[in-house]
């Protein structure tokens, strides 16, 4: 505990609570209120309704939710597989080449997402690889943007696995793939879930690259929200924002429960 005196603790709480409410609570509260409002001409909204939610689960908005979820899950899964593979492959190489390859992996996280979107658009708009206008280019953009975080999480997890466990497994006769399947990956499971969760959350919120490359019929929720707010449909945009947040939260809570079980073991 950093603050020992009772008055100091009270003062700290008095500062922290308003800050938390203003920074986190207020924006979320405003969005939540807007999502159930029919009008907002005064300090507080009026004409409360659930019609926006009913509309959100019809046609285009619901397709956006499906597009976001499918993109998030597939891109995160691909990033998890490649990030895990890379982290496993790179952990036993010499420090200097490892640092160089680490850097290569982290470059996409340092480049603005709009630049990634533009570069994919330029790269894949001409034969021989013509991906412009396909759903695959959205998946690739998300994969590129999140893979650095996946790799970073898995690499950090691998560094925390006791090497003794893997070595003892080998001494007991476990060949590399058996050891990986029965020892390394189960020990890594909490970190894999954390990596997938982070990737999924990032993918669900991704806008910069997606807005440049999304094909017709594969508009993700952030793009829909951006389009609605751009058209002035603030209440519908707020509703989709709430749905986006809740869908992401539900998946993350589910993953965190699995992760907790794996950690307790």
Residue numbers at the binding site for another protein (CB under 8 A): 162, 164-165, 167-175, 178-179, 182-183, 186-187, 189, 262, 265
Helices (H), the chain: 6-20, 26-35, 51-56, 59-90, 95-110, 113-123, 135-160, 163-171, 176-179, 185-205, 210-213, 221-231, 234-264
- Nearest approach, Cβ of residue 168 and another protein (Å): 4
Helix, strand or coil for residue 86? helix
Q: Closer to another protein at the Cβ: 192 or 238?
A: 192
Nearer of residues 164 and 230 to another protein, judged by Cβ:
164
Closer Cβ to another protein, 174 or 227, answer by number: 174
3-state DSSP call for residue 45? coil
Between CA 225 and CA 241 the distance in angstroms is 7
Distance CA 157, CA 219 (A): 34
**DSSP output for 95-112:** HHHHHHHHHHHHHHHHS-
By C-beta, is 122 or 185 nearer to another protein? 185
For the bound state, the minimum distance from the C-beta of residue 166 to another protein, rounded and expressed in Å, comes to 9
3-class SS of residue 41:
coil
Specify the residue, 58 or 265, whose C-beta has the smaller distance to another protein: 265
Answer left, alpha or beta for residue 124, where phi above 0 means left and psi between -120 and 50 means alpha: alpha
Task: Report the residue number, 58 or 175, with the smaller CB distance to another protein.
Answer: 175
CB of 174 to another protein, least distance (A): 4
* Shortest Å distance, C-beta 185 to another protein: 10
Q: How far is the CB of 99 from another protein (least distance, A)?
A: 18
Q: How far is the CB of 258 from another protein (least distance, A)?
A: 13
Q: Residues in the chain, how many?
A: 265
């Amino acid at each position: 505990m950093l603050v020992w005196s009772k008055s100091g603790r009270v003062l700290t709480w008095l500062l922290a609570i308003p800050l938390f409410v203003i920074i986190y609570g207020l924006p979320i509260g405003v969005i939540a209120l807007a999502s159930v409002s029919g009008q907002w001409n005064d300090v507080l909204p009026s004409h409360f309704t659930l019609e926006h939610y009913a509309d959100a689960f019809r046609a285009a908005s619901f397709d956006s939710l499906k597009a976001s979820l499918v993109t998030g899950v597939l891109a995160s899964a691909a990033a998890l597989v490649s990030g895990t593979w890379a982290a496993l492959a790179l952990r036993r190489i010499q420090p200097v080449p490892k640092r160089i390859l680490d850097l290569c992996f982290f470059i996409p996280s340092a480049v603005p997402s709009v630049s990634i979107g533009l570069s994919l658009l330029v790269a894949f708009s001409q034969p021989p690889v013509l991906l412009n206008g396909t759903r695959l280019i959205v998946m690739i953009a998300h994969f590129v943007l999140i893979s650095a975080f996946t790799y970073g999480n898995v690499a950090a997890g691998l560094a925390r696995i006791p090497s003794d466990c893997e070595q003892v497994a080998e001494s007991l006769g476990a060949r590399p793939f058996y050891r990986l399947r029965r020892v390394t990956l189960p020990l890594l499971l909490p970190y894999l879930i954390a990596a997938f969760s982070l990737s999924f959350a990032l993918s669900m919120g991704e806008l910069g690259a997606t807005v440049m490359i999304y094909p017709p019929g594969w508009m993700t929720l952030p793009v829909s929200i951006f389009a609605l707010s751009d058209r002035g449909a603030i209440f519908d945009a707020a509703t989709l924002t709430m749905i986006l947040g809740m869908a992401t939260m539900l998946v993350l809570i589910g993953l965190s429960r699995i992760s907790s079980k794996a950690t307790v073991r």
